[in-house]
Chain A
């Protein structure tokens, strides 16, 4: 079985500040890990993913995440927040090299203050 825990249902930062959204996972097999973003009344958009290889992955809009197996973590970061980053972010895990059922965390709402 797989599970995802996102620490903090709400995160608030100032524009220009570091964004850090935390994600820890549990998986009995090597995982594939994803971050998705959801803007109001829209579907989910993929930010980045880790499958194999380099553990630091870069995504769209300046986001990146690092897979740390020893910590079972996949935290999402962005050096400088922009107002347009305000949205809900979901971390998800999937069994590697298997069919694609995603298990999602509960989501973190990011608020960016001017």
Chain B
């Protein structure tokens, strides 16, 4: 079956611009997670959704970061006024409740 998909695969933007990253989870998976992978910080948790609600946003690094999930499916991670330190690979994962997380291929964000 189809796995987790993310788009775009690569995004290059200028400092100060807003970007939106999309995640399509595996069908039927109620939980969705966003992580960030960067050279300096490794793999960091950003936010977790159960259905459409986000009980844990503790990993969002600043108020420039936000995420939403609609219809219990697709999620969008938005970064406003991007900074160079936002450059990273953004990974999305989904799971059934608290089961194993399956990861997408990631979106590589480069902020110039």
The reply to whether the CB of A111 lies closer than 8 angstroms to some CB of chain B is no
CB–CB B106/A99 < 8 A: no
Number of interface residues of B (CB under 8 A): 25
CB–CB A44/B103 < 8 A: yes
C-alpha spacing A100/B33, complex, angstroms: 8
Residue pairs across A and B with Cβ atoms less than 8 A apart, 13 shown, are A43-B91, A43-B103, A43-B105, A43-B106, A44-B91, A45-B103, A99-B50, A99-B55, A100-B33, A101-B59, A102-B43, A102-B45, A104-B42
Instruction: Name the prevailing secondary structure of the B interface residues.
Output: strand
Instruction: Name the prevailing secondary structure of the A interface residues.
Output: loop
The reply to whether the CB of B65 lies closer than 8 angstroms to some CB of chain A is no
CB–CB B102/A46 < 8 A: yes
The reply to whether the CB of A90 lies closer than 8 angstroms to some CB of chain B is yes
B residues neighboring A (CB under 8 Å): 4, 31, 33, 35, 42-43, 45, 48, 50, 55-56, 59, 91, 93, 95, 97-106
Give chain B nearest CB distance to A32 CB in angstroms: 9
**In the complex, given contacts A41-B105, A99-B50, A102-B43, what are 13 additional A-B residue pairs having Cβ atoms less than 8 angstroms apart?**
A34-B100, A42-B106, A43-B103, A43-B105, A49-B100, A99-B31, A100-B101, A101-B33, A102-B35, A102-B101, A103-B45, A104-B43, A107-B43
